Every structure is written in structure tokens, then in C-alpha cells.
Structure 1
Amino acid sequence: MSICIIPARGGSKRIPRKNIRKFCGRPMLSWPIKAALDSGCFDRIIISTDDDEIAMVAEEAGAEAPFRRSAELADDYTPTVPVIVDTIAQLNLPDLTPVCCLYATSPFVTATDLRSGLECLEETGANFVVSVTTYAFPIQRALRRNQHGEVAMFDTAQMQTRSQDLEEAWHDAGQFYWGKAAKWKTTAGIFGDGSQGLVLPRHRVQDIDTNEDWQRAEQMMRLLQLDSALWT
């Protein structure tokens, strides 16, 4: 038995109603739901939401919305882990249940990604499996820019270091996290000891927090759809 939990509150500020806004012709939320359905991984796909319209869209896409999230867990400052723990409690899941937190704004996630995450969780015994990708530019060469427009390196010691000699850096791809129910209930975060990174290609990773992000993501999706060999 495996469970997918998709957090999708109604109060997004920077992109209003982004969880159900049309993305390349379909509600944003429907993209990860379809990947979850196609993966064959899940006995249930649950939406954790405080919003009736989001719940309706999710159910039309093939997910369940069996309860409404409390206001205390639906404000701008609520982190992900308490939302997943709340849903685990609502469903009364056994401790060994594999639980995948899948973000509502993950249109690039694939069924293969989700299956690979579950396989990694089971085969490695990891506490969590996190979707990750590489930075496009060495973070050791990052610049800061002040209010006057002046720039300076964060670490001047790296000024003369060749980029190919710098350690490769990774970041959370912001698509999904796998972990057993007990681990979700006993952790404050998912990036501690015992977490495995499941590598995703950069061309399928895009945060969607601003309208510029949204436009870029739609352009990426259209390119991917033009090349069915990439969209698997």
C-alpha cells in the first residue's frame, strides 16, 4: 500500500489560484495527478486542501479530497511536513506505509520519476528520497548585488578557481519526496541523515512562484511536447 499526498491550499498570493489555473490548457493540479495515476504506485491519491474548488478539480482529475485542511495548516507560513503528518493522521496510516508528498505545481513530474523514487526508498532503506537536480552555474562563484547595483563575490577565494574544478552543487527539484509514514511523523525536515537524492534533468525542473516562472514553464512544456522522446 502506497499513498500520494498532494498539498494544495487555496490562498496562493504571488500567483492567485495557481493550483487550478490553466497550464498549457489544463488545470495545473491535473498534471501531477495524471503522473501519479499513470505510475501505478498508489492505492490512493489524496489532496490536502482547504478549498472546495480545488477539491472539485482534483476529484475530476482522478484524485480524492476526503477532508478539508484546517485553517491553522493553510496559511502562508505553514511548512510541508506538518501538512503531510496531518494527512497521515487523518487517514490513520500504518507506520510502514510509503508516503509520497507530490507538489501540486509539478507539471514536469513523470510516472517514471515516481516509480523510481519508490524503488529507491525500498531498495536503499533511506529515510527519505528527494527529487534533486544540479545548479546550472557553480554556486561557489555566486555574486551579491547591493542597493546601488554594485556586485561582489560571496567568496573571493574562488575568484581564480576554474569552474570545472569546483564541486558540483545540487538543489531540491521541488517535485516530490518519498518517506515511510513513521519517518514523516518523527522528523522536522527531509534533508537530514539518511536522505537519498533522485536525480532529475534540469530541463524538467522549474520553480513556479511568479508569473515569469509560469511563462517559462509553459514554454518548457511546449518544447517537451514537441519531442515525445523526451516526454516519457
Structure 2
Amino acid sequence: MKKVAIIPARGGSKRIPRKNLKLFCGIPIIAYSIRLALQCEIFDMVVVSSDDEEILDLSKKYGAHLAIKRSEALSGDNVATLPVIANVISTLQLKSKDMVCCIYPTAPLLETQYILEGFKLLQERSDKNYAFSAVEFDSSPFRGFCIQDEVLTLLFPQYQLFRSQDLRKVYHDAGGFYWGYAQSFLEERRIFEKDSIPVILPRMLVQDIDTLDDWNLAEIKYKIKYA
């Protein structure tokens, strides 16, 4: 059984131009994910998939074993992650029970122990397809509301009088990693289903990086973490 880390890294990014190459605390942000995969010391291969030659060259510089040029059809703004990972699996001709870990290129706060935990959990549960990183919502969505035409509408009015500590905990995808069997990715089985195992991360290790404000917050967290 092979264990392969795949880092999908497009060259295009609308809100943060050249995001996957942008320096994060002095180092290209994708380098953190490559180093993280190597530090896990369980992967037979660390692979970067990109449509961008600069990303491919940089990935090799930082230790990726293989950098695969992605087709134009898999490089658009609306292309999901699953078909990209499936394409790499097909290119590498992995077997159905080989284990694959998709690690996003913008996860500089992620730690090896959680990737290893996901691997262990998936190995122990043969009935599951995936193990992925998750985190608890900062504020309960049960207290959420929408505003339309200056009118406030509660999403869950039945919980209006509940104390926050009495509301159920709710989690969401942390956008860090997704362990799965090669066959699960090839069949593009949905990740956020009952056949998946969440690995809960501390909030300090999670930060969506979609805007420059997000980027700055992630750098602040990183500097606090390694102060």
C-alpha cells in the first residue's frame, strides 16, 4: 500500500494574485505544505499538481518528489478539488487501496500530528472513505440571521432563548487535509458525508486565506505560534 501526498496548487487567484507563490512570513506559502508532508515521514511520494510552471519549479526546489503539469480543463476557477486529485491518482496509476492525502497549499498553520492522526483513524476504520480536518465554529450558527431589505430574519428562531453553552457544537471543514483511499477519490465520493471521519483542529491552527485580511490574520497566528 502506497501513501501519497498530493498538493493541488493553481497559478490563478482572483482575490490574492499568485497566492500560492506569495511570501508568507518570508517563505512561499506552498513551501509550508511541502515541508509538512515531508516532515510526516510516512509518504512514499509528495506530489504537486499545478498549471503554473513557476509553481512546479518552486515545488521541486522545496523538496516535492514530483511536480505534475495540470491540464487547462482542470485549471479553471470553478474546478473542484476531487477531479484534480483523481487526475493525479490516474497519472500515477495508484491502486484502489493506496492511501492519498490531499494537503492544501495554503495551510501554513497545520501540524504533522493531525495528518498522522487522520491516517491512523482511517486505517482503523475500514468502513470509512475519508478522514479530514475540521474545526468548531467560532460562534454558533444557531444564532445566525440574514438581513434583506433592512429586515433581520433569524435562521433558527427556535433557539433564540437558549444560552450559548446549551447549543450543540457545530463544526466545519478546516481546509487543511483530506485523507482517502485512491478509489474514493477516483469515484469522486463526497467527503462531507457519514462515511468520513473528522479530525478536530484547534482554532489557532485554522485560518481561511481568501483575502488579504485573512492572510494577515494567518501571519499573526503563525508569529504567535512560533514566538
- Tell me which interval the TM-score lies in, with the shorter structure as reference length: over 0.9
How far off its partner does 1:188 sit? 3.8
Deviation larger for 191-200 or 88-97: 191-200
Deviations 1:195-224 (A, max 9, x none): 000111011100000011001100110000
Q: Structure 2: where are the runs of 5+ without partners? A: none
How far off its partner does 1:137 sit? 1.1
Q: 1:95 is aligned with what amino acid? A: S
Give the number of aligned pairs.
225
Q: Supply the distance in 1 between the matched residues of 2:88 and 2:172 (Cα, whole angstroms).
A: 26
Look up the match of 1:44: 45
How far off its partner does 1:80 sit? 0.4
Look up the match of 1:20: 21
Alignment of 1:41-80 (within 5 A): 41-80=42-81
Q: 1:159 is aligned with what amino acid? A: Q
Deviation larger for 110-119 or 10-19: 110-119
TM-score by length of 1: 0.94
- Report SS of the residue matched to 1:85: helix
Deviations 1:115-158 (A, max 9, x none): 1111111012221001001011111001212354x533212221
Q: Structure 1: where are the runs of 5+ without partners? A: 227-232
Q: Supply the distance in 1 between the matched residues of 2:149 and 2:63 (Cα, whole angstroms).
A: 48
Shift in alpha-carbon separation, 1:188–1:194, aligned structure 2, 3 A = closer
- Report SS of the residue matched to 2:222: helix
How far off its partner does 1:176 sit? 0.3
Please tell me whether residue 167 in structure 1 is matched to residue 165 in structure 2. no
Q: 1:201 is aligned with what amino acid? A: P
Q: Supply the distance in 1 between the matched residues of 2:190 and 2:74 (Cα, whole angstroms).
A: 16
Look up the match of 2:30: 29
Q: 1:224 is aligned with what amino acid? A: K
Identity across the alignment (%):
37
TM-score by length of 2: 0.96
Q: Supply the distance in 1 between the matched residues of 2:29 and 2:87 (Cα, whole angstroms).
A: 24
Q: Supply the distance in 2 between the matched residues of 1:137 and 1:67 (Cα, whole angstroms).
A: 40
Look up the match of 1:229: none
Cα RMSD for the two superposed structures = 1.2
